[in-house]
Structure 1
Amino acid sequence: MRLRAVLFDMDGTLLDTAPDFVAICQAMREAHGMPPANEQAIRDVVSGGARAMVSVTFGIPAEAEGFEALRTEFLDRYQDHCAVHSRLFDGMEQVLSDIERGRLSWGVATNKPVRYAEPIMRQLGLAERSAVLVCPDHVTRSKPDPEMLLLACKKLGLAPQEVLFVGDDLRDIEAGHAAGCRTVAVTYGYIHPEDNPRNWGADAVIDHPLELRALLDQALCNC
């Protein structure tokens, strides 16, 4: 079946959002009278969300006293500074331009809440280019459940088999397979050091966004 759209996970796939997370974590440590944390340690757990980043930043478990106050502080700071340093990954602008020139649609299916995702898309000039944005707010079950991708396909008016989903987490690939989409795992995203995207069972694995161009050309030629 002909490929008609590409869906991207947001953090670690379409966008390098880690610099904003790191800046917030470091600002919090400074506000609490602590020296800077190891930046790579924060980046390594971005896919784990606010809880994981706060835990690493302050070296405490989620059940520790005061943890929820720190998590709330983190989320409040992120609300105000969610698109200061975030950018498309190197090469991704060329990929999006290729998709648009090829008359394909593209969109985002992310576990990031809409109150952060929408402002980021707007501030980076991507909202008007993206055909669809699906967040946890729009579904009852987030990835790895396929509901998010099935909703995106429905909004696009496409069958899942016509859609390629690109992600940097096992949950993305599991959701894509369950929905019936073709899948691509990326190694350049926020991968835990002990994880390996080549073991996730994706239809393809890429090390750089520009490698998507060849995959898209192949998919279109083979239709």
Structure 2
Amino acid sequence: MLSTAKGVLFDLDGTLLDTADDLGAALNHLLNAHGFTKVSSKEYRLVASDGVYPLLDLGFKEQLAKFDKEVLRQEFLDYYLENIATHTKLFPGIEQLLTLIEDANIPWGIVTNKPAFLTDPLLLHFEQFAKSQSNISGDTIKERKPHPAPMLLASKQLGVAAEHIWYLGDAKRDIDAGNAALMTTVAVKWGYIKPLDDCSKWQANHIISNPLDLVGISK
């Protein structure tokens, strides 16, 4: 990869950062506050990168219809923002991969569907992201993944043509967006891929199980 890529882009949740336990803590805080049973890590990890509403559906189940979902969403976000990096950590191997990319003078960045008011403060907790040259959030522009527009904006910010960029993500929407932008796509198996999801059907150019596996593959 380091001999062929001229730029690298990453998804955030489930690719660079394991954010599931902080998202799960926000959900369980709400459930406890409203008298519901907490959910386990095994349960909430399956929907950790899907957004707030799937997490609320998981926790409140059919009782969710009795609540104002917008009020619950705001309660969730308020707690999450206050505790955004309490448990969140880099996935094993990510720091080493970023170091290798930077040592090779390859520009890199992040394209996530997480809104900027959460993305920006989260990134500040990790010095490893200081050299990211493009941070595109889910509301940076009107389109979001799987639309290719965020990918193309990141490409422009990196100063690298999209066809020379590799994009890593743990969801089909990531691969769809990268493919639509004509990037080399890499599905990562360490993220929040559900048991029934078959990433071999996502049409990614490559599938890897460890971040450092990226170094050994070529286009």
Q: Classify the TM-score, shorter chain.
A: over 0.9
Residue 195 of structure 2 is matched in structure 1 by 193
Q: Please, which of 28, 31, 36 is the counterpart of residue 30 of structure 2?
A: 28
**Are 1:110 and 1:134, in contact at CA under 8 Å, matched by a contact in 2?**
yes
TM-superposed CA distance for 1:77, in Å, is 1.1
> Cα distance 1:31–1:147, how it changes in 2: closer, same or farther (>3 A)?
same
> Cα distance 1:120–1:197, how it changes in 2: closer, same or farther (>3 A)?
same
Residue 16 of structure 1 is matched in structure 2 by 18
Q: Please, which of 140, 150, 154 is the counterpart of residue 152 of structure 2?
A: 150
Q: Which region of structure 1 is more displaced relative to structure 2, 56-65 or 16-25?
A: 56-65
Residue 3, structure 1, aligned to residue 18, structure 2: no
Residue 70 of structure 2 is matched in structure 1 by 68
Q: Distance in 1 between matches of 2:62 and 2:68?
A: 10
1:166-192 Cα shifts (integer Å, max 9, x gaps): 001111111001111110001111112
Aligned-partner residue type, residue 156 of structure 1: L
Residue 114, structure 1, aligned to residue 113, structure 2: no
**Are 1:5 and 1:164, in contact at CA under 8 Å, matched by a contact in 2?**
yes
Q: Distance in 2 between matches of 1:54 and 1:75?
A: 11
Q: Please, which of 180, 183, 203 is the counterpart of residue 182 of structure 2?
A: 180
Q: Distance in 2 between matches of 1:110 and 1:124?
A: 16
Q: Distance in 1 between matches of 2:62 and 2:76?
A: 14
Q: Please, which of 208, 211, 219 is the counterpart of residue 209 of structure 1?
A: 211
Count of equivalent residues = 217
Q: Distance in 2 between matches of 1:112 and 1:145?
A: 14
**Are 1:51 and 1:62, in contact at CA under 8 Å, matched by a contact in 2?**
no
| Runs of 4+ deviating beyond 4 Å | 61-64
Q: Distance in 1 between matches of 2:192 and 2:146?
A: 17
Describe how 1:54-93 pairs up with structure 2 within 5 A. 54-60=56-62, 64-93=66-95
Q: Normalising by the residue count of structure 1, what TM-score does the alignment of the two structures yield?
A: 0.91
Q: Distance in 2 between matches of 1:170 and 1:62?
A: 27
Q: Distance in 1 between matches of 2:190 and 2:66?
A: 32
Residue 103 of structure 1 is matched in structure 2 by 105
1:65-118 Cα shifts (integer Å, max 9, x gaps): 333322221111112111111111011111111101111111100000111111
**Are 1:82 and 1:120, in contact at CA under 8 Å, matched by a contact in 2?**
yes
Q: Distance in 2 between matches of 1:61 and 1:138?
A: 33
**Are 1:47 and 1:191, in contact at CA under 8 Å, matched by a contact in 2?**
no
3-state DSSP of counterpart to 1:165: strand
Q: Please, which of 135, 138, 144 is the counterpart of residue 136 of structure 1?
A: 138
Q: Normalising by the residue count of structure 2, what TM-score does the alignment of the two structures yield?
A: 0.93
Q: CA RMSD in A?
A: 1.7
Q: Distance in 1 between matches of 2:45 and 2:120?
A: 22
1:141-161 Cα shifts (integer Å, max 9, x gaps): 100000000000011111001
